[in-house]
């Protein structure tokens, strides 16, 4: 009767193309001479190569399904529309390693295989195959200071290449990644989505890494866990006192009295009114108020005299 290619691949005659590929992948790895030295495995590996080459080719498969191995290799009988013999008789090239390489890709297909938690089993020999991971992909995640103060949820759509069920072809699909931003996250915080990059038959998908980038705020400058608020004041205010109103990021209005002399290096620190601490959002950094003293551009002689008297300077 000749070879039964379906039986060789342990399939029934209604097997789909995806099932044929899956069966060859499993059996070729199991019976490859590099992974097993048991008697008969080399011959079985050759039979697998021939069976896959025929059943994976639609034209060869159609002829085999109708006329069997004899019709495939000897030609279609004249009564079925052929000439004396089919002009394209099939003959396996006899090199199963060539079929194996064409299926898996590369001169050393075993170098591309891996398992997540355990080595692959090839016949009776246990062998670990290492698959390299693609370099990680970095993307910036721009967040406002309000987002980083309160925390928020960001949903980001990515498009990536995923492998189809046949294990050989791929397609582009969208996926939504959800990032739960925690209060107090800083610039440079990295959020890693493991193996969410493009999939490929011979590599581990890359990690996608989002890096927090903080947008500028119109009123506050962030320094670690502290918030800096700058106020312009007159020289009179710097010398005589005043109060500063600051609206916080959570909507409260703080009125802060300044009773000290505001000198060039002076800062007013308000404890616990800065950014939440990421490790403990119930605690906060400080609010630091700095001052830009506006000096008068000109003074008359009379005013100069009055200022000197007021400051008790000797002429």
CA distance 83 to 115: 51
User: Which pair of tokens denotes residue 270?
Assistant: 């308000």
CA distance 22 to 15: 11
140 near 211, Cβ under 8 Å? yes
CA distance 95 to 119: 27
Per-residue tens of pLDDT for the chain, all 315 residues? 467 999 999 999 888 988 999 999 888 888 887 765 677 778 888 999 999 999 988 888 888 888 888 878 877 655 555 444 444 678 888 888 888 888 876 545 554 444 444 444 444 444 445 677 778 889 999 999 999 999 999 999 999 888 887 777 788 889 999 999 999 999 999 999 998 888 877 778 889 999 999 999 999 999 999 999 999 998 889 888 999 999 999 999 999 999 999 998 999 999 999 999 988 989 999 999 999 998 888 888 887 878 777 777 554
- At 126 the pLDDT is 44
52 near 168, Cβ under 8 Å? no
CA distance 194 to 187: 21
Task: Evaluate whether 137-214 and 220-294 have a shared fold.
Answer: yes
CA distance 116 to 231: 58
Q: Is 270 helix (H, G, I), strand (E, B) or coil?
A: strand
User: Which pair of tokens denotes residue 265?
Assistant: 């290096």
Q: Is 222 helix (H, G, I), strand (E, B) or coil?
A: strand
Token look-up 């980038």 returns: 213
Spelled out in words, what is the top-level CATH class assigned to the domain 220-294? mainly beta
State the DSSP string of 158-222.
EEEEEE-TTSS-EEEEEEEEEEEEPTT--TT-EEEETT-S--BTTBBPPPEEEEEEEPP-SSEEE
pTM: 0.55
User: Which pair of tokens denotes residue 80?
Assistant: 């079925």
The domain covering 5-127 belongs, at the CATH homologous superfamily level, to DnaJ domain (1.10.287.110)
In the chain, what is the greatest distance between 2 CA atoms, to the nearest angstrom? 130
Domain boundaries, the chain: 5-127, 137-214, 220-294
99 phi-psi bin (left φ>0, alpha ψ -120 to 50, beta other):
alpha
Q: Rg for the chain (alpha carbons), in Å?
A: 38
* Among 205, 253, 235, residue whose Cα is nearest residue 296: 235
Q: Is 107 helix (H, G, I), strand (E, B) or coil?
A: coil
Name the CATH topology of 137-214: HSP40/DNAj peptide-binding domain (2.60.260)
Token look-up 């500063």 returns: 244
CA distances from 196 to 142, 175, 190 (A): 20, 9, 15
107 phi-psi bin (left φ>0, alpha ψ -120 to 50, beta other):
alpha
56 near 17, Cβ under 8 Å? yes
Q: At what angle do helices 41-55 and 17-31 cross, to 10 degrees?
A: 160
Token look-up 């693609």 returns: 134
User: Which pair of tokens denotes residue 127?
Assistant: 């062998």
Give the pairing type, strands 287-294 and 226-234: parallel
Token look-up 């699909």 returns: 173
Beta bridge partners of 107: none
């Amino acid at each position: 009767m000749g070879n039964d290619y379906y039986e060789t691949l342990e399939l029934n005659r209604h097997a789909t193309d995806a099932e044929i590929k899956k069966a060859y992948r499993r059996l070729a790895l199991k019976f490859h001479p590099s992974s097993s030295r048991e008697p008969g495995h080399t011959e079985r590996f050759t039979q697998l190569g021939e069976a896959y080459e025929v059943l994976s080719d639609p034209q060869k498969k159609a002829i085999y399904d109708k006329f069997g191995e004899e019709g495939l290799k000897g030609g279609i009988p004249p009564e079925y529309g052929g000439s004396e013999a089919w002009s394209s008789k099939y003959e396996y090239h006899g090199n199963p390693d060539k079929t194996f390489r064409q299926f898996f890709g590369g001169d050393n297909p075993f170098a591309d295989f891996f398992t997540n938690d355990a080595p692959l089993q090839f016949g009776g020999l246990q062998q670990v195959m290492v698959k390299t991971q693609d370099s990680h992909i970095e993307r910036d995640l721009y967040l406002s200071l309000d987002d980083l103060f309160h925390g928020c949820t960001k949903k980001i759509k990515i498009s990536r290449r995923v492998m189809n069920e046949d294990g050989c072809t791929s397609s582009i699909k969208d996926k939504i990644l959800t990032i739960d931003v925690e209060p107090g996250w800083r610039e440079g915080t990295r959020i890693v989505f493991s193996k969410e990059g493009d999939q490929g038959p011979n590599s581990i998908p890359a990690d996608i890494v989002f890096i927090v980038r903080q947008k500028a705020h119109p009123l506050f400058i962030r320094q670690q866990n502290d918030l800096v608020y700058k106020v312009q004041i007159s020289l009179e205010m710097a010398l005589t006192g005043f109060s500063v109103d600051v609206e916080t990021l959570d909507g409260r209005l703080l009125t802060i009295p300044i009773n000290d002399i505001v000198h060039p290096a002076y800062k007013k620190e308000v404890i616990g009114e800065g950014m939440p601490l990421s490790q403990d959002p119930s605690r906060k950094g400080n609010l630091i108020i700095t001052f830009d003293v506006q000096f008068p551009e000109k003074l008359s002689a009379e005013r100069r005299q009055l200022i000197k008297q007021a400051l008790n300077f000797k002429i």
